[in-house]
Structure 1
């Protein structure tokens, strides 16, 4: 019975470790069209995300912050720190490894645009309406 408990405990720990494995980020890019901006985050597996809104900082931009986990930026694929956009309400996109298993994406805006976030089995897409602001209630 004691051996069975130990085997079950080891299997549980191995399962948790496999579930917590961070998905590598394959690509982060920004695409633009008439009136829209899309931030595409391609991963090698499913990830979670959390959205935060930060008030204006030192450059007078507000930021839509997207934390993506479990994820990491492989050492040989460090993205540009700033991706200029300059379309409508969207100024730029910044990316960095925030913690060991969280990649942080800042979408710097001059006002809060309408946006959607879609997750898939291999990444996240943030679609922004470059010329229409969100209503006040949606920002909270």
Structure 2
């Protein structure tokens, strides 16, 4: 990741090797009906419970947000069709305008497309890169 991206993440409480207890997050997601895959757990362990103030884009990205209603949040069927794998919501990005999703393979998506093949690439593209690859363009 670039220096700028790392600084923004660090200013939000992230550090290399970060590993938080995610039991409560996993329990919440499972109660809502989501199957929480190993790659989702890995993402949440490192990047969960952060409120990231993205000063480059003047946006907030929130992985501390707790989904409370499976029916209202949906099952992301359309997004899963494009991604061709199951997705789990892990937060909100772009000042709560888009849902952040991690797939069972560890790829990171949002409501409008793919952010990266892994968390590192996703944060770099979101904060200091070219943004999302819109559904259908990959």
After TM superposition, the score normalised by the length of structure 1 is 0.28
**Higher relative contact order by CA 8 Å / sep ≥ 6: 1 or 2?**
1
**Which one has a larger percent helix, Structure 1 or Structure 2?**
2
After TM superposition, the score normalised by the length of structure 2 is 0.28
